[in-house]
Chain A
Amino acid sequence: AQTVTQSQPEMSVQEAETVTLSCTYDTSESDYYLFWYKQPPSRQMILVIRQEAYKQQNATENRFSVNFQKAAKSFSLKISDSQLGDAAMYFCAFYFGNEKLTFGTGTRLTIIP
């Protein structure tokens, strides 16, 4: 079975600074997908960024980028120029084609004005 581990229950960052959220996973699969989801206080899950395991290039979406280390099974999220609207729970998730997403336990990100 796949597992996803987020070792940072809470993180905080000054507005306009950069923060990195960590995620590791365990799988015997070689072809899979990794995701970061954002859950603001409204509780609506929002897809932030997606990475295909077969791609070596790290995914980027505006201020959000990932550091994907396949051999180390590590998938961290970097948020640059942090904004107040980035405050949320962030979940790392894994998918390998069995139609199901497996989530980590989440990291609560606080932005300090």
Chain B
Amino acid sequence: EAQVTQNPRYLITVTGKKLTVTCSQNMNHEYMSWYRQDPGLGLRQIYYSMNVEVTDKGDVPEGYKVSRKEKRNFPLILESPSPNQTSLYFCASSYAKGTGELFFGEGSRLTVL
């Protein structure tokens, strides 16, 4: 089954404790991206990747890091989480540039105390 898998789905952590949210897709997509969803703000793009070893900032990259060492994986790293990073995070992937059909994971709800 074609899918985008994120882990963990739910996480409560404390300020400053490094964490990684993993994302994996099994569709051989070149493009992957991370979004955060906040009430009243919709989805905002954090980082995206066009292919292995190619990443770029979205609109809200501060406080986040990413890496793309393998085509299927695109982890989101919070080196020193802060309470304003409490949010619902989505990973998405796509076959090709410009198609518009993003395939989303089920989301990871992160709470930073």
Q: Are A and B a genuine interacting pair, yes or no?
A: no
Interface positions of B (Cβ within 8 A of A): none
